[in-house]
Structure 1
Amino acid sequence: MLQNKIKAVLLVLPAVLVAGCSSLPTLDGDPDHDPAQGGIPEGVTLTPFDTSYPAVGNLDPALRKALQQAATDARQRKVDIRIASGWRTKEYQQKLLDGAIEKYGSLEEARKYVNTPEKSTHVSGKAVDVAPTRAADWLIQHGEKYGLCQVYANEMWHFELLTAPGGTCPPARTDAAG
């Protein structure tokens, strides 16, 4: 059933984008792939410039601008910065936390990887997860130029705007719980 919904979105999406329509298809509330909740449909690759998707468009404007500047510079060095996750609804964040509790066996362990909806900087639009690993590595090395900092030592992909461009990033915290 879900695969059929995904196929339907993938078939409709190009037409939606070509038509310039700002309304994106949803998948009946499945936050993992529902753009309205901050999800990214399967088969879709987002860049910091894909602002028609809420995962990018609902990011804090200063964070989005810094990401766009970094992506432009990285591209000149043949590094493509993609958005693996950006802004999310509280409901989507809760689903991720619930999944982590199931995976790790307790809230305490899950919190090392996933914040609560009340504490998540993804929910406020102030955090972004980048991909692929090469892009995250590039941002770890060059992110301070844009004010972008790796926040958690156990999540090389998670960045927030934590310093002025050209400033010094604070040391990465051990994990999301600390």
Structure 2
Amino acid sequence: MYGLQFEAPVPNLNEGWARADYARVSADTLDRDNPVRQFDGYYGSLAAGGRPRWDQFDICSVPSDVVAHIALGRPTYMAATSPRPDHFVYTLEGGAVRALLGTSVLGQKVGHVLHHRLTVTLHAEIAEAMDSGQAILSRTDIAKSDWPAMEITRGLFLFAGVERPIDRLVMVLSRRYATDPS
């Protein structure tokens, strides 16, 4: 869905791999063409000092080359009066996301697909995004024995709702091989 843009076979996160390094990043440290940086710019244009509302989101306003890197998550609130969702469920995945993860994540809980350590990190980032009201950007370096090292950049962007404080999670994922020119 939404532009699978890979001609050659690519490694995915369902295959054997090891996390070599993890760091939080800011958008200005990312390459200008990085989809996470581009979406962060769009997200910032919607937020007037707080979390933007989901009804402000317009997929047609997102740079077209970023759309394939987006996964949407719908929050699940276990208690009717809960101010925070208990978890998120994937409702949309771009082609680059599916290729990176190596499987469709539609209908699955966010964070239940990846390697355990990466899952724990993702849950901590989501909790921080809910608490702070800010986008959370990170980079994970992945080592694979049969492919060049990869840099995975992730951005978590929460949108407020009308009836709930959080209506959607937009996750943007980008892969770059460490040997790619910067």
Q: TM-score, normalised by structure 1?
A: 0.29
Higher helix share: 1
Larger relative contact order (CA 8 Å, sep ≥ 6): 2
Q: TM-score, normalised by structure 2?
A: 0.28
